[in-house]
Structure 1
Amino acid sequence: MGIEQSAGRLYVLDLLRFAAAMAIVGYHFIPTHPEVWSGDSSAFEVVADPLQYAWLGVEAFFVISGFVICMSSWGRSLSRFFVSRVSRLMPAYMCAVLLTAAAVSLEPLARERPQPSHVLINLTMLQQFLNVPPVDSVYWTLFVELKFYLLFAIVVYFGVTYRRVVLFCLVWTVVALFAMYTGSGFLRAVVEPSYAPLFVAGITLYLIHRFGPDLLLWGMLAASVAISMVCLAQRDAVRQGAASYPASVAVMLAFFAVMVAVALGGFSWLRWRGMVTVGALTYPVYLLHHEIGLRAIARLAGRMPPWVLLAAVVAGVLLASHAVHRLVERPLARALRDGLSASFARIRSADAAVRTVPAPSGLSGRNGPPGRGAAQPPALPGRR
């Protein structure tokens, strides 16, 4: 995914995305699944409590996604938007589905082995639309992302402009609030009201970055942040008491402060090209770490010190993610991008050819003979 600005790449977004991914890895490996450590999880008491808030990395992902999708879709047609999303998401995802399904089948732990038909449906990324269980529970975030893409595709279809993006943000916010108020199951399924303010905040931050701040944009951002803070109270970690609501709000407000600084150019001095590689690992790390990483920990727990095992598994996830990025994601993304672009070019060529083909000569006039164009009007009396 291109993360660019007029003066160069926004490297800080790569760093923030990677930090969010690693926070989620820590959250899943330590406080969420202590049972896989075979009684050795007490070694992580120092970091266990802070990591209870690492689930907020998902919230951060959605804000960054709103920023980046708005930025990368500017000036693109709907077909180019579709091609960029498919080529960006599908190669690493399909590889991760197959690897995760294999890992769960070989080492099921406390869950059932996935059915082959479910694995095939998961390969389409449409499993939750079809009420099929995901191969990995972390895929729920992709379902939310897909809904955002489908909604924002409406703007892309008409052409991304400042006015249309602002209107989109306002309409989505109003409909999301209406869905919360009415409890409409249909609206909730379509507009994702509890996560909509995060995407809207990200989009608004990009508008501030591209066009500069004004009162309307600050107001939209403040409203989105306020609504997202209310929605935090409904997250499982807060409702179940694992995370304090005030502390969760404080963490998210700190993140929003960082994103405001990003939008205003406060991190333009960060230009380390290594961040590009780090950012490229974010998506594979997220896809691979959960089911595969937990099984590696469960298999090796007790055979080495817990911190050594944690470091080894995290390093393994990073190496596997790098391999998937280099060997699967990059070549397949290029092939998908070229193939789909050629397909859409063919559609445009066919449509253009239909528009330029002249009508058959026999149909050019209702009364005239074939090949002579439109029939002449009858002569007026006295003018023969």
Structure 2
Amino acid sequence: MAAENALDDAPTVVLPRVDLAVQPPVSSGRDTTPAAARPASDRLYVLDGLRFLVAMSVVSFHVIADYGSRNTWGRPAAEIFGSAVLDVAEYGWLGVECFFVISGFVICMSSWGRPLSEFAISRVTRLMPAYVFAVLVTSAALVLFPLPEGRPRLSDVLVNTTMLQQFFGIKDIDFVYWTLFEELKFYLLFAVLAYFGLTYRRVLFFCFVWMAAALYGQYTNFAPVAKTVSSQYAPYFVAGILLYLIYRFGPNLFLLGGFAVAIVTTAPGLIKRVAFYSKGEHIISFDVAFVIMLCFFLLMLAVALRWLAGVRWRALTIVGALTYPLYLLHMQLGRIVVHRLHDVVPPWFLVAGLVVAFVALAYVVQRFVERPAARVLRARLRESFAQIRVADRHDRSVARPRGPVRAER
């Protein structure tokens, strides 16, 4: 996730859709100014709302279904909350897949027209402050109030702060961090495209190459390729990128066809995810999971087609900003609280209290950790890139001959 991840970098003002078709002049009273020339003042408030909703679906899954499977509640979740509630909550893990789609859309949008240095700065400043804070807070909580898995090792905590732990085969301090690793791979792949600059043709080519590599990894089960290009989750990111192209340039058969192919190719990975969560009291249906994802894809298509542009509730930007810290902090801290209080506090009161507490904690982290740290980090990173550019220009000027080269006698 994201989480988630990781998506407040989208500019408040986004370009209106570019009309690529040649239109004959129309003599009517309507405004016939080309779309690309019209001023824009759109913000996709609906994406902020969707991010918060899918984050809450992940929270509900962990607190109700996942804690129940881990015996954190002390007895099966169905006995505590009822089978009807469990039947809904046990599909909340699909929020991660929804995050990946949103991520593809927003990262493409926020990177358009920006150099690679700005792309790198935006990702680092968006992800790292809240993440490092969450790792330290979660680790401290697990040391003070250990769960059955035991206290984390100091070396694991230190490596976790880099977000690179999975490269070394080191256990995540919090289970939700695995999604950040998938996001990180997406960023590294997309950085190659950002280096050359985003254009309609280049982005389409990137999607084609990425999907081809992902399908090859799935077909051959060749781990180096499958893991590098994230074969299981690549279709979600690609779907999000194609949706942004639809949003920016308008729909056409090529984009809609690619989007449909991306949806279909999510099925093999979704089957694996369903099998993973179909354990114990959880009986997950692939058909239900696919229908839920299909509904989300269609909702995102409605966003791309601007059918939801009328949603302009400013409160959505506030809750959208809480998504990332909420996602990072809820899993292990919630387990600690439920593990210690489930016999003391009635379950529904405990769940309600957890939700309110985590939303409040997310606000505190976003307001007093993320924003101040991001401002400082952004300024320092820009200074660093500026220094690199100056040094690079200096090295090139020194290497260039200053005058005619005379042959030695």
What is the TM-score when the length of structure 2 is the normalising length? Answer: 0.86
The residue that corresponds to 2:141 in the other structure is 103
The residue that corresponds to 1:2 in the other structure is 9
Amino acid at match of 2:62: H
The residue that corresponds to 2:51 in the other structure is 17
Alpha-carbon contact 2:210-2:234 (below 8 Å) kept: yes
Alpha-carbon contact 2:243-2:304 (below 8 Å) kept: yes
Number of residue pairs matched by the alignment: 368
Shift of 1:314: 1.1
- 2:295 corresponds, among 219, 237, 254, to 254
Shift of 1:359: 6.0
Alpha-carbon contact 2:135-2:157 (below 8 Å) kept: yes
The residue that corresponds to 1:366 in the other structure is 406
Amino acid at match of 2:72: V
The residue that corresponds to 1:171 in the other structure is 209
Provide, for residues 314-366 of structure 1, a one-character-per-residue CA deviation record: whole Å limited to 9, x for no partner.
111111111111111000011111100111011112222334459687x7432
1:30 aligns with 2:68: no
Alignment root-mean-square deviation, CA: 1.7
Shift of 1:367: 4.4
1:69 aligns with 2:107: yes
Name stretches of at least 5 consecutive residues in structure 1 with no aligned partner: 369-374, 376-384
For 1:222 and 1:58, the matched residues in 2 are separated by: 20
For 1:117 and 1:86, the matched residues in 2 are separated by: 22
For 1:137 and 1:359, the matched residues in 2 are separated by: 53
| More displaced 10-residue stretch of structure 1: 4-13 or 329-338 | 4-13
Shift of 1:40: 8.0
The residue that corresponds to 1:322 in the other structure is 363
The residue that corresponds to 2:315 in the other structure is 274
The residue that corresponds to 2:331 in the other structure is 290
Alpha-carbon contact 1:40-1:302 (below 8 Å) kept: no
Alpha-carbon contact 1:237-1:243 (below 8 Å) kept: no
Alpha-carbon contact 2:55-2:327 (below 8 Å) kept: yes
Alpha-carbon contact 1:122-1:135 (below 8 Å) kept: yes
Amino acid at match of 1:320: L
For 1:359 and 1:78, the matched residues in 2 are separated by: 26
For 1:116 and 1:242, the matched residues in 2 are separated by: 37
For 2:149 and 2:80, the matched residues in 1 are separated by: 26
Provide, for residues 132-177 of structure 1, a one-character-per-residue CA deviation record: whole Å limited to 9, x for no partner.
1111111000000000000111110111110000000011111111
- 1:220 corresponds, among 236, 258, 265, to 258
- 1:181 corresponds, among 219, 235, 243, to 219
Amino acid at match of 1:148: F
The residue that corresponds to 1:194 in the other structure is 232
For 1:40 and 1:138, the matched residues in 2 are separated by: 22
Alpha-carbon contact 1:40-1:306 (below 8 Å) kept: no
What is the TM-score when the length of structure 1 is the normalising length? Answer: 0.92
Alpha-carbon contact 2:61-2:90 (below 8 Å) kept: yes
For 1:81 and 1:229, the matched residues in 2 are separated by: 31
Name stretches of at least 5 consecutive residues in structure 2 with no aligned partner: 1-7, 16-40
